[in-house]
Chains A and B, each alone.
Chain A
Amino acid sequence: MNENETILIIDDEVQIRRLLEILLSSNGYNTVFASCGKEGITSAATHHPSLIILDLGLPDIDGQQLLIKLREWYTKPIIVLTVRNSEDDIISALDKGANDYLTKPFRSGELLARIRTAIRLSSEKETSAVFESGSFSIDLVNHVARKNKEIIKLTATEFSLLSLLVKNQGRVLTHQFLLKEIWGYSYLEQTQYLRVFIAQLRKKIEDDPAKPELLITESGIGYRFGN
């Protein structure tokens, strides 16, 4: 199923490149490599990859700058791979248009799952109006959410937060993005609103609110609607 998908990997570490090549080709992807930023831009232009895996620490161009350059014309998903354990770097990369992130060392299963999600999201022309996952379903057009077939009462804010996350299912949405979209610019620092509403939503839609599977916390960064 992945035969037509070409993935461009921009990373200066030979070992990581080799590891990714084995991992991705054994999962049916075509791989193209670039060891620096300039090469990366050229490869992206010539090979039109379905997805780019980008290391933020490159020898020639700063990864964040490269991201901006790529995003000037490249519309398909970019997953940022970084050893930097800093949340600020990740948030700034997501703000600059990265679709997802993963920190090194990473689990190969996790990487594959992220790649799949990113490609699927980008290939879907429109989000379908109805979404289902286990005992939970939501109809975005008719504003109806159900748990175990029963209609859940959601406030307007709760519904817009949930639908925003569902529409971007599998993708990390940063705190700032969510606050801005739901509450507006003046609430950018008010993360407590987000925490309270997420906790409420979890009580309403999760099977076990203590072990959330739908509303997943990306600590220090944001939330992701799980698949």
Chain B
Amino acid sequence: MNNLNNIRPDPDELLASIKLEEDQGQRGKLKIFFGMCAGVGKTYSMLESAHIDKSGGKDIVIGYVETHKRPDTNELLTGFEIIPRKTYNYKGTQMEEADIESIISRKPDIVLIDELAHTNVPGSRHLKRYQDIQDILDSGIDVYTTLNVQHLESRTDTVSQITGIIVRETVPDDIFEKAEEVELVDITPDELLQRFADGKVYTHERSEEAVRNFFKKGNITALREMSLRIVADRVDAQLRVYMQKNRIRGPWKSGMRLLAVIGPSSQSAKLLRWAKNLSYTLGATLLAIYVESARKLSPAQQDQLNRNINLARQFGADFMTTSGNDVVKAILDISQRENITHIIVGKPKFRSLWSYFTLRNFINKLIKYSGNIDVYVLGSNTSEDNQYMKYLSIPGFTSRLSHYLLSAVFTILTAVIFYPLKEFIGYQIVAFALLFTVSILALFVGIGPILLSASLSALIWDFFFLPPPFTLHVNNPEDVMMLIMFFIIALIGGIMTSRVRRQEKLTRERELRTNALYQLTRELSMTSGIDEVIKVSAKYVMKYSRLDCSVILQGGNNTLDKIIRPEKSLKLSESELSIAEWAFQHSREAGRFTETLPSTEWTFYPLTGNKLPLGVVIIKQKNPLSGDEKAFWEAYRTQISNALEREFLNDIARRASILNESDKLYQSLFNSISHELRIPVATIMGASDTLLSGDLDNDTSRHLCIEINKASERLNRLIENLLNMSRLESGRIKIKTDWHDVHDLANKVIEVLRNEVGKFNLEVSIPDDMPLVKIDFGLMEHVLHNLLLNATQYSKPGTTIRIKMYYDQKCFVMQVMDRGPGFPREEIQNVFNKFYRLEGSISGGTGLGLSIVKGFVQAHHGNVFIENRQNGGSRITVMIPTEITDMMQIKLE
């Protein structure tokens, strides 16, 4: 089995190598000039390299190079285009930073930017320069940069141990590991010390003392060794990638998986760095875990925990949170699930007798039950221990003052009630009563008040109840025993209860969140429409996290549409919109409490679906999110993203189907309407040509004009119908109803069609008590017009056409009856279809009339149907549900 694994490349790794390759294809390449410390000549080497590349025809610009006015370095600058730096005003001082936007828009082949670990002036695009460089690489530009070994995140501890200098500007190891090229710039320690003595070395350290301490042969040798080893390790890694890519068999990744157990202490950060180094050397995967327990964290601890989690993520470790009072079991469960080979824990600190037992127990248990998993126990730094003690408050002391008062009052009250009874029931029973009070209090208040209550009741019992009364002195040895036991029982009972309660509260909160997530999921699954989805999402975010949430969606072309939804929510400035755009483009969070553009009050989280980038969600956080909240918020976002993506895909599908439909429409248009258009056009052209040729008698001219007139009317009607059809097709018909007198409707249409209906015996019947109805007059006019025109076209002149309007069963009913040929029974259901024309129907129709009637009636939520009449002819009935007005009421007013 093991053998097989060694021969066949792990698919995941192959995938990773393909991905890496793809990334490299689009992205620029990063080359790092790496040295043991300042003064080894990194910038100089970088410039030299650039000169060589330049003579090779590359377009190279300088984004930010610090020569520290060294003449030889300065000289090398000549011949390069220098992108002017951007100036920031920070607290009155002018600070300069590389101008990222200009570099990206200048788009050279290679840009030189010194000092990868540099921290930017507040107000810049990113907190750190390496983040700027990521953006530049993303835009396809190669970057040359410099880095000292002490700035590597995972090495800072060792460096501070060696040199005594605490390094604050760090670069995630990830950046270094992913750099395409690392060039070691190395000189011997003696040479460096000589350069230092000659004053050729410039460091950021202001204090000469510190600098002198730093530049000692011992220090430099150690740093040199470290940097040499790192570069050598890197070569190993490169070889491994190369072997994977070329399917060369060999010693693959060790298959080792490390689990670092972290907590809310700064020791955990150290542990993570150590674990990272180990995983790097071993070629192992690193996971980090935090076990949440009933212990309440102080704000400082919460903060440190967040920093540790971020650090783990920076190291590229998978991070997990689990919860449980039994830490060992939680760790081992995860280990088994994740095939962990090594567990790394910090050495526990024995702060008290209590912790001595529990914590020693912890390591013993872990070792006992971990089976074949190796367990590393790391030592701790004593100097930091004290600091640790400082913010290790006994949890729960932060109860409200009212709880302390309450506990005291109830304890005293119990004592007062039992004081008169002590003669009858004996002082031992009183102890139980007091104990009872303490236990009850434990159900409602924190550990602090319980401690108070327990001590107070012990004192009261001793002073007022134990003989001799009114002294703290105790006569009987049994009573002494009892007093001590009383105190211990009260304390343990109280503390245990309150711990259980806290655990319970934690579970409840978790349950609440799970429930919230479930509810969101359920409601989202029932919601349709993008705006609705956003509304529901915003509602739930508000409900469970009390945060106002807004969304900006993508507007196609891989950009945001700049419309903030739901409407009437926040207003964003141009620059804030560009942060949103950044978060969207890079699928990373930005804004407040993040590392990118934190100088704004909003935080921007990308919404990314499986297939589409969807947009950005904006919230105004008051505090950074804790690990738990972060996970919850991520789950929430995933749900919202899924729902949004579903809507987006629906939308795309719907648009495709509309397009399909309109394709069909145009097809039919070309087939059937081009004919209908040509006839009147031909008539107009022919008739006007004849008129122009002149020499016609008055009568002929008049007849030609009548023909032109008729043809243009026919054209006009056709255009009207086409326009109406396209209004229906686009789905954009919005009916505008108002009160109308149906007499007006009949009059208007008859007036327009007076030439056509003139040849018929037209009967209009509307009852005298016909109320006003609420309809869209324009649409109903088209309906009646088309029906009446149809009737005149298919019936013989001289026959009767009846229009009947009345109100029945909350509907306005309109009927048009003729004595034409009627409709063939089997064709009746088809006559409302677009372009449907009956066999042998007269020319001049487009097959649109009745389908427009149906469309407009449906827009009124009404109904239309056709019957053949008993004695020949047809009856078309339109029913429109409507409100009515009480005419009498108005007349009386």
The reply to whether B777 and A220 form a contact with Cβ atoms under 8 Å apart is yes
The reply to whether A210 and B743 form a contact with Cβ atoms under 8 Å apart is yes
Q: A192-B885, A193-B890, A196-B887 are in contact. Are A211 and B741 (CB under 8 A)?
A: no
The reply to whether B740 and A195 form a contact with Cβ atoms under 8 Å apart is yes
Q: How far is the CB of B331 from chain A (nearest CB, A)?
A: 71
Interface residues of A in 208-227 (CB under 8 A from B): 209-212, 217, 219-220
Contact of B772 among A105, A195, A219 (CB under 8 A): A195
Q: Does A135 contact B (CB under 8 A)?
A: no
Q: Does B738 contact A (CB under 8 A)?
A: yes
The reply to whether B738 and A191 form a contact with Cβ atoms under 8 Å apart is yes
Binary contact track A198-211/B, C-beta < 8 Å → 1, others 0: 11100000000111
Give A199 to B891 CA distance when docked, in angstroms. Answer: 11
Q: A196-B772, A219-B777, A219-B778 are in contact. Are A191 and B748 (CB under 8 A)?
A: no
The reply to whether B777 and A211 form a contact with Cβ atoms under 8 Å apart is no
Give A196 to B738 CA distance when docked, in angstroms. Answer: 13
Contacts of B712 in A (CB 8 A): 105
Contacts of A210 in B (CB 8 A): 743, 746-747, 764, 766
The reply to whether B747 and A199 form a contact with Cβ atoms under 8 Å apart is no
Specify which of A192, A197, A200, A210 lies most central, judged by the most chain B CB atoms within 10 Å of its CB.
A192
Q: A192-B890, A193-B890, A196-B885 are in contact. Are A219 and B744 (CB under 8 A)?
A: yes
Interface residues of B in 849-892 (CB under 8 A from A): 885, 887, 890-891
Closest to A217 in B: B744
Contacts of B739 in A (CB 8 A): 191-192, 195
Contacts of B716 in A (CB 8 A): 105
Q: How far is the CB of B858 from chain A (nearest CB, A)?
A: 21
Q: How far is the CB of A208 from chain B (nearest CB, A)?
A: 10
Q: How far is the CB of B718 from chain A (nearest CB, A)?
A: 13
Q: How far is the CB of B762 from chain A (nearest CB, A)?
A: 11
Give A195 to B743 CA distance when docked, in angstroms. Answer: 10
Interface residues of B in 715-771 (CB under 8 A from A): 716, 738-741, 743-744, 746-748, 764, 766
Q: How far is the CB of B398 from chain A (nearest CB, A)?
A: 61
Closest to A104 in B: B716
Contacts of A87 in B (CB 8 A): 778
Q: Does B781 contact A (CB under 8 A)?
A: yes
Q: A192-B890, A193-B890, A211-B747 are in contact. Are A219 and B741 (CB under 8 A)?
A: no
Closest to A200 in B: B891
Contact of A220 among B741, B746, B772, B778 (CB under 8 A): B778
User: Chain B, interface size: which category?
Assistant: 20 to 34
Q: How far is the CB of A165 from chain B (nearest CB, A)?
A: 15
Binary contact track A169-200/B, C-beta < 8 Å → 1, others 0: 00000000000000000000001110111111
Binary contact track B364-381/A, C-beta < 8 Å → 1, others 0: 000000000000000000
Interface residues of B in 646-661 (CB under 8 A from A): none
Q: How far is the CB of A121 from chain B (nearest CB, A)?
A: 23
Give A200 to B890 CA distance when docked, in angstroms. Answer: 11
Q: A191-B739, A199-B741 are in contact. Are A219 and B891 (CB under 8 A)?
A: no
Give A220 to B890 CA distance when docked, in angstroms. Answer: 21
Contacts of B746 in A (CB 8 A): 210
Give A199 to B748 CA distance when docked, in angstroms. Answer: 15
Q: How far is the CB of A101 from chain B (nearest CB, A)?
A: 15
The reply to whether A217 and B890 form a contact with Cβ atoms under 8 Å apart is no
Closest to A183 in B: B893
* A contacts with B, residue count (CB < 8 A): 18
Give A35 to B740 CA distance when docked, in angstroms. Answer: 39
Contacts of B891 in A (CB 8 A): 196, 200
The reply to whether B747 and A212 form a contact with Cβ atoms under 8 Å apart is yes
The reply to whether A219 and B890 form a contact with Cβ atoms under 8 Å apart is no
Closest to B891 in A: A196
Main secondary structure of the interface of A (DSSP, over half): helix
Contacts of B748 in A (CB 8 A): 217, 219
Q: How far is the CB of B800 from chain A (nearest CB, A)?
A: 17
Q: How far is the CB of A225 from chain B (nearest CB, A)?
A: 15
Binary contact track B402-440/A, C-beta < 8 Å → 1, others 0: 000000000000000000000000000000000000000
Give A135 to B66 CA distance when docked, in angstroms. Answer: 102
Give A193 to B890 CA distance when docked, in angstroms. Answer: 6
Contacts of A192 in B (CB 8 A): 739, 772, 885, 890
Give A210 to B781 CA distance when docked, in angstroms. Answer: 17
Interface residues of B in 119-175 (CB under 8 A from A): none
Q: A105-B716, A196-B887 are in contact. Are A219 and B781 (CB under 8 A)?
A: yes
Give A197 to B712 CA distance when docked, in angstroms. Answer: 38
Contacts of A220 in B (CB 8 A): 777-778
Q: A105-B716, A220-B778 are in contact. Are A195 and B741 (CB under 8 A)?
A: yes
Interface residues of A in 26-50 (CB under 8 A from B): none
Closest to B720 in A: A85
Q: How far is the CB of A153 from chain B (nearest CB, A)?
A: 13
Q: A105-B716, A219-B748 are in contact. Are A198 and B741 (CB under 8 A)?
A: yes
Contacts of A198 in B (CB 8 A): 741
Contacts of B766 in A (CB 8 A): 210
Closest to A211 in B: B747
Give A198 to B743 CA distance when docked, in angstroms. Answer: 11
Q: How far is the CB of A118 from chain B (nearest CB, A)?
A: 22
Give A87 to B740 CA distance when docked, in angstroms. Answer: 15
Give A219 to B744 CA distance when docked, in angstroms. Answer: 8
Give A67 to B14 CA distance when docked, in angstroms. Answer: 72
Contacts of A105 in B (CB 8 A): 712, 716
Contacts of A212 in B (CB 8 A): 747
Contacts of B747 in A (CB 8 A): 210-212, 217
Contacts of A209 in B (CB 8 A): 743
Q: How far is the CB of B341 from chain A (nearest CB, A)?
A: 75
Give A4 to B96 CA distance when docked, in angstroms. Answer: 77
Give A198 to B890 CA distance when docked, in angstroms. Answer: 12
Specify which of A191, A196, A211, A217 lies most central, judged by the most chain B CB atoms within 10 Å of its CB.
A196
Q: How far is the CB of A110 from chain B (nearest CB, A)?
A: 12
The reply to whether A199 and B743 form a contact with Cβ atoms under 8 Å apart is yes
Give A192 to B773 CA distance when docked, in angstroms. Answer: 9
Give A105 to B743 CA distance when docked, in angstroms. Answer: 25
Q: How far is the CB of B770 from chain A (nearest CB, A)?
A: 9
Contacts of B743 in A (CB 8 A): 199, 209-210
Contacts of B893 in A (CB 8 A): 193
Closest to A107 in B: B709
Closest to B751 in A: A211
Give A94 to B746 CA distance when docked, in angstroms. Answer: 25
Give A104 to B751 CA distance when docked, in angstroms. Answer: 18
Give A178 to B747 CA distance when docked, in angstroms. Answer: 22
Contacts of B764 in A (CB 8 A): 210
Q: How far is the CB of B555 from chain A (nearest CB, A)?
A: 27
Specify which of B766, B777, B890 lies most central, judged by the most chain A CB atoms within 10 Å of its CB.
B890
Interface residues of B in 756-808 (CB under 8 A from A): 764, 766, 772, 777-778, 781
Contacts of A196 in B (CB 8 A): 772, 885, 887, 890-891
Contacts of B738 in A (CB 8 A): 191
Give A59 to B523 CA distance when docked, in angstroms. Answer: 50
Contacts of B744 in A (CB 8 A): 217, 219
Give A220 to B735 CA distance when docked, in angstroms. Answer: 13
Contacts of B740 in A (CB 8 A): 195
Give A198 to B891 CA distance when docked, in angstroms. Answer: 11
Beyond A192-B772, A210-B764, list 12 extra A-B contacts (CB 8 Å): A105-B716, A192-B890, A195-B772, A196-B772, A196-B887, A199-B741, A199-B887, A200-B891, A210-B747, A217-B744, A219-B777, A220-B777
A-B pairs, 4 with minimum CB distance: A192-B739, A217-B744, A192-B885, A196-B890
> Can you show 21 pairs from A to B with CB atoms below 8 A apart?
A87-B778, A105-B712, A191-B738, A191-B739, A195-B740, A195-B741, A195-B885, A196-B772, A196-B890, A196-B891, A197-B890, A198-B741, A199-B743, A199-B887, A209-B743, A210-B764, A210-B766, A212-B747, A217-B747, A217-B748, A219-B744
Interface residues of A (CB under 8 A from B): 87, 105, 191-193, 195-200, 209-212, 217, 219-220
Interface residues of B (CB under 8 A from A): 712, 716, 738-741, 743-744, 746-748, 764, 766, 772, 777-778, 781, 885, 887, 890-891, 893
